[in-house]
Chains A and B, each alone.
Chain A
Amino acid sequence: MSKDGLTETWISASAALLGLPIESAWLPSIRANVEVTFRLGQLVDDFPLPDEAEPAPVFEA
């Protein structure tokens, strides 16, 4: 499956699983946004952090 095909499958499955009604006219814009976010997410994902790295927000009991 092409990457475009994968993204569309992802969107379609996510929408169904989340109960989000999406119109076909919205798909190009949603896809563009998903692609950008995955690309930027990849930048974050690529950064090596140790297992011990803590998230910024810390819960206090």
Chain B
Amino acid sequence: MAGTGFAKGHEIAAAVARGEVGARDVVEDALAVIKSRDRALNAFTDVTAERARVRADALDSDRAAGKPVGPLAGVPFAVKNLFDVAGLSTRAGSKINRDLPPARHDQPLIEKLEAAGAILVGALNMGEYAYDFTGENAHDGASRNPHDVTRMSGGSSGGSGSAVAGGLVPLALGSDTNGSIRVPSSFCGIFGLKPTYGRLSRARSFPFVDSLDHLGPFARCTRDLALSYDAMQGHDPADAGSAKRPVEPSLPHLARGIDRLRIAVAGGYFRKGAFPEAIQAIEHVARALNVSREIQLPEAQRARAAAYVITTTEGAALHLDRLRQRAHDFDPATRDRLIAGAMIPSSLVMKAQKFRRWYREQVLALFADVDVILAPATPCVAPAIGQETFMLDGVEMPVRPNIGIYTQPISFIGLPVVAVPVPLKPLPIGVQIIAAPWREDIALRVAQYLEDMGAVVAPRPPLN
């Protein structure tokens, strides 16, 4: 159990529950791994060591007293630094937010995970204000890909991807507006869940685009995604976007396999611009699931365009006063996009929101005849840190905005997605398993099936 940091969360929880290892030992191990490996990965911006020790000791006392410990007992986890953590200023990847007073309360998902026995060990690096797909950050430095530290972790939940892929923690939380869970999952070769829009509370987290923001977990296996997701569910009136739905546990359905599930691969737009590795990965997953059917999502390119317009304009509105007063303190890459977003006519934004309702109806109609849609998570494996352009469909395009071409049309209408890692060499790449709204259980089932077959796995990175 001790030593390498690659133990799965559910394995740790089982060992703690059986008394084979104490939560304090698990936490000390995690802190030691973070200390030794994070210099190379730059995943963490804060390590909450004392808090973690106190919680671990309390859990060990509870266990010794015969009290029940939760399903995530002793599991160390970390959160993207846009989550409120009591006692820390909620940085959101920025310099400006460091001036905020410390948060008074933890974000609700942290509270729920800790109620399940998990133990917060720190806050993670991210692209400034979440307007990022690379994991680079002008203030805190880039989070690095554990499979090749010269390459991007992906973003904006870059530290979350690095930390889990690098074996620093088995579980991390991030956010996804247009791809910020799925992109780091793809580049770093781990599992990520972007739930249905409104499923998990976003209260007490620093926002980006209220229309599109989701929060969700990263892990090294499907079971840990399911365990953490189930622990975090529940309506929260403090988040206006929180759906009034009961908790719908996914864990009981995880081992049901894929019998009678109708699965298709997204064609058309989702094939354009794909590098060979993205095609290889999607075909690998389709073969493993015995899927030959293709499905077309109508107007996916327009959906991506509409998501882009909504993102840049809502983001600009959020930051308008900061842009007026402290433009120099922004990451230049974020600053100029937000300034541009402030200058877009509102008529285009309204049209984008109207198109969104139309597109949602069209795609939901597809789910009458299909249960799961497969699509690449990213067009390519992780580019080099600092790489500015790549060839997309024979045309040289900027890397930053185009990493999310396959993720954006899906999060645009809030569909649940599990990103699964295909262990290609030399670098992994992800595939999106997309289900109908509120059917995270189906996406997780498919991921578990693929994992059980050995078709998808979070590969271990080389360790120095």
Q: Tell me the A residues contacting B by CB distance below 8 Å.
A: 10-11, 14-15, 18-22, 26, 29-31, 33-34, 36-38, 40-41, 43-45, 47, 49, 53-57
Contact = CB atoms under 8 A, between A and B. Distances in A.
Contacts of B347: 45
Contacts of B339: 15, 20, 22, 26, 30, 33
A3 to B, nearest CB: 15
Contact of A53 (B327, B341, B358): B358
Given A19-B324, A21-B327, A30-B336, A44 B306 contact: yes
Interface in B300-330: 301-302, 304-306, 308-309, 312, 320, 323-324, 327
Interface residues of B, number: 38
A16 to B, nearest CB: 11
A53 B353 CA distance: 10
Most chain B beta carbons < 10 A, residue from A30, A36, A44, A56: A44
Nearest 6 Cβ contacts at the A-B interface:
A33-B340, A55-B353, A40-B305, A41-B348, A29-B336, A56-B356
Contact of A45 (B304, B320, B348): B348
A21 B354 CA distance: 32
A26 to B, nearest CB: 6
B337 interface: yes
Given A43-B305, A55-B357, A34 B343 contact: yes
B371 interface: no
Nearest to B320: A18
A41 B308 CA distance: 9
Given A14-B342, A34-B343, A49-B351, A44 B332 contact: no
26 contacts: A10-B343, A18-B320, A18-B342, A18-B343, A20-B320, A20-B339, A26-B339, A29-B332, A33-B340, A37-B340, A38-B348, A40-B304, A40-B305, A41-B305, A41-B309, A43-B306, A44-B305, A44-B309, A44-B348, A47-B358, A49-B355, A53-B354, A53-B357, A55-B354, A55-B356, A57-B353
Given A41-B309, A43-B301, A45-B348, A56 B353 contact: yes
Given A37-B308, A44-B302, A56 B357 contact: yes
A22 B337 CA distance: 13
